[in-house]
Structure 1
Amino acid sequence: MHPRSRSTRALAQAALVLASAFAPAAVQAQDLPKMPPGMMNKLSEQLMKEMKPLDKPLHVKVCIFDIMGRAGPVYGIAQDIAIEARKWNLYVELLPFTNEGVAAESFRTGQCEGVAITTLRARMFNPFMGSLDAVGALPTYEHVKTALQVLMGSEKTYPLSISGKYQVVGLAPLGAAYVMVNDRSINSIEKAAGKKVAVMDWDKSQAKMIQQLGAQPVPSDITNFAQKFNNGVVDIIAAPALAFAPLELYRGLGTKGGVYKMPLINVTGSAVINRERIEKEVPDLDDRLMKMRKFGLQYVDQAIAAIRQIEKQVPNQYWMDVSAPDQEKYNVMMQQARLQLTAEGVYDPRMMGILKRVRCHHNPKAAECSTQDE
């Protein structure tokens, strides 16, 4: 094998190692920004001008993943939405789950008509939409906003939100995932060798990739990955800055740790429905969903502003700058990881093409924009 081929494959594997460390539970933090009083009612009044109520009552069950269950912020927002939904003759019964895997499986087996989960997990229902959170694919929040406008605001991409009987009806930004290490001396991919990395036990490929790099995978789940980092059981995790305070990740960072100031993944959440069940009772379902998607895009800026505000709460002492040469190396690394995962059928090539066009829209002079890759 040519030396360059070996090096790019190693970089791709390294990106997979870091991507595997991401724990989706982190975005369910208890101090997520609260919606101002009366805001939900105001939003429903605006939407009411664009969409009339259903002709007859529709009763549905929705599985909600919130690590804090009924006491969590996601479930709380879902309750507010359910109350407002009655104005459209839609009656929603919410079923809270503290385990995302159980929530997804309950939806898959028909216990719910809808489910709220991370887009990473939603890939099992729609490989195209589930590929949105690809490693390194959306380097800034400006990229995230553009991607959401393409996916949620365009009628051309609407059919791609449907996969069999399932449909992703909504996407929401949840924040960038940053690599966090308990020792600043782990300042390169090469130095991750021998270190312990938290991996999600529901994706067995993660452990394989970590072993190939020489690091040690530590099976974890959404309820204990932070505790393992804080107690020194693992050396490396990746999570949104939103998780820093509520999951007390500063304990794991200690006095020697740091956070790479470079997003690994821009995380989103997905709302998925079983359209086979619902469209039988809502003949104009597609028209209604398209209106709701476009309506939701009006508030992407507010969501991103809230995320930025929380990121500012991470003390400056923890942030680790990434040099321009290293950043370029990591960009190549993540691109190779995307190519490898696409070739293996993990990422959808159509989504990879869209995300590349988004990146080239923001930076047309980037090297990748003159190639046929992705």
Structure 2
Amino acid sequence: MNKIGIFLSGLGLAMFSSISWAQNSVCVFDLLGKSGESYKFLEEWALNTKTWGNAVKLVAYQDEAKADQDFKDGKCDGVYLTSMRARYYNKFAGSIDALGGVPSNEIAKKAIAYVLDKRNNQRLNSTLNQQNYTVGGVAQIGTAYIFVRDRKVNSIEHAKGKKFAVLHYDAAQKIMVERIGAIPVMSDISNFVRKFNQGEVDIIAAPAYAFKPLEIQKGLGNQGAMIHFPVINVTADLILNADKFSPNFTSQSRQWFVKQIPKNFAMVQRLESDIPARYKMTLSKEEKEKYQKLLRDGRIELTKQGIYNPTMMTVLKKARCTVERTNFECSIGGE
């Protein structure tokens, strides 16, 4: 090849490289848009991507359904969603948020680190409708606690007949609400707290992340309470179009997320401590065990239905019983 041919070939490669570089975009869901903690967290991630072979442009969304749909439509190469919605792409990672499966931050740390370990590389890949997906990271949003407009609703029995907002795309929530005899009210992540604050529902489950920005105290008023019992551990998953990112990029992305675990949980603990103590209500030992048994039965049923990943259920049980060996479930099978 003559010098002109070599020059043109090199120019073509450079142009192709720059086009690929510019096309990598990630849709990021955060209730607060660019001012939210999740978006700021992804900004730090994006700064590091240049050293992994891709520059990434973030696009903020305050509507999670829109972010998800734009990703499906190919308008972005990756998407950052709550795992309840991201479970569609990967049940293994998405099952960290199984009802009652992760009752403490200590177990949540272990679960996230385990999921992103290289031994699970294959489990983090999936193919849906001839499209290849991979999990680029998992981050903690926080434990979801039950908020009630009337603190007299302090037991499973008292929840019967009460209206409970559930995310319409998460079958697990609807099934569990029905199991306790409450009335599920189909909602979205963008409006479930508003329904609570306006009295359209009596009960919601939400992490501390939502307390201040969504003004949950308005729904609590003088009679409401936050039942200090972990129902769901809420995480966010970074789902990538596997054909747009190299395996090396994905591997380094996961490693970055693991390194952020201490910082991530420090943020969660700060937000939880910001909730005024006057709203917090603890359950009796007997009530806690009732909830634990109810959630356990629900997890087993939902796993049989294919909603939760069975391998992850086994991993989470081992983690729970390592931390709390005397728990009733540790002497029985089923998960």
TM-score with structure 1 length normalisation? 0.77
Do structure 1's residue 319 and structure 2's residue 280 form an aligned pair?
A: yes
Distance 2:232 2:176 in 1: 17
Q: How many residues align?
A: 313
Q: Kindly report which structure 2 residues correspond to 1:1-374, keeping only aligned pairs within 5 A, or say none.
A: 56-57=17-18, 58=21, 59-152=23-116, 154-164=117-127, 165-203=132-170, 210=177, 213-278=180-245, 282=246, 285=247, 287-374=248-335
Whether the 8 Å CA contact 2:163–2:183 is kept in 1: the answer is: yes
Paired AA for residue 59 in structure 2: L
Paired AA for residue 267 in structure 1: V
Paired AA for residue 276 in structure 2: P
Uncovered stretches (5+) of structure 1, i.e. residues with no partner: 1-54
Paired AA for residue 77 in structure 2: E
Closer, same or farther: CA 105–130 of 1 in aligned 2, 3 Å: same
2:67 aligned counterpart, secondary structure = helix
Closer, same or farther: CA 199–295 of 1 in aligned 2, 3 Å: closer
The equivalent residue for 2:11 is none
TM-score with structure 2 length normalisation? 0.86
Paired AA for residue 156 in structure 1: R
The equivalent residue for 1:9 is none
2:184 aligned counterpart, secondary structure = strand
Paired AA for residue 133 in structure 1: D
Whether the 8 Å CA contact 1:56–1:89 is kept in 2: the answer is: no
Q: Deviations over 1:266-287 (max 9, x none)?
A: 1111101011233xxx3xx2x4
Q: Percent identity?
A: 38
Closer, same or farther: CA 362–79 of 1 in aligned 2, 3 Å: closer
Closer, same or farther: CA 314–125 of 1 in aligned 2, 3 Å: same
Distance 2:168 2:175 in 1: 12
Closer, same or farther: CA 172–209 of 1 in aligned 2, 3 Å: closer
Closer, same or farther: CA 362–205 of 1 in aligned 2, 3 Å: closer
2:237 aligned counterpart, secondary structure = strand
Whether the 8 Å CA contact 2:85–2:170 is kept in 1: the answer is: no
Which segment drifts farther, 350-359 or 299-308? 299-308
Distance 1:156 1:83 in 2: 27
Which segment drifts farther, 163-172 or 192-201? 192-201
Which segment drifts farther, 112-121 or 303-312? 303-312
Paired AA for residue 319 in structure 1: K
Which segment drifts farther, 116-125 or 210-219? 210-219
Uncovered stretches (5+) of structure 2, i.e. residues with no partner: 1-15
Distance 1:209 1:304 in 2: 27
Q: CA deviation at 1:233?
A: 1.5
Closer, same or farther: CA 340–150 of 1 in aligned 2, 3 Å: same
Q: CA deviation at 1:64?
A: 1.4
Distance 1:243 1:137 in 2: 21
Paired AA for residue 110 in structure 1: G
Q: CA deviation at 1:156?
A: 1.8
Q: CA deviation at 1:215?
A: 2.8
Q: CA deviation at 1:223?
A: 2.3
Greater RCO (Cα-Cα under 8 Å, separation 6 or more): 1
Paired AA for residue 168 in structure 2: D
RMSD of aligned C-alpha atoms? 2.3
The equivalent residue for 1:29 is none
Closer, same or farther: CA 119–315 of 1 in aligned 2, 3 Å: same
Which segment drifts farther, 125-134 or 360-369? 360-369
Whether the 8 Å CA contact 1:138–1:265 is kept in 2: the answer is: yes
Distance 1:300 1:238 in 2: 23
Q: CA deviation at 1:88?
A: 4.5
Paired AA for residue 95 in structure 1: V
Distance 1:126 1:89 in 2: 24
Paired AA for residue 142 in structure 1: E
Closer, same or farther: CA 296–218 of 1 in aligned 2, 3 Å: closer
Whether the 8 Å CA contact 2:163–2:185 is kept in 1: the answer is: yes
Q: CA deviation at 1:346?
A: 0.8
Q: Deviations over 1:320-352 (max 9, x none)?
A: 111111111111111001001011111111111
Distance 2:113 2:40 in 1: 26
Q: CA deviation at 1:224?
A: 2.0
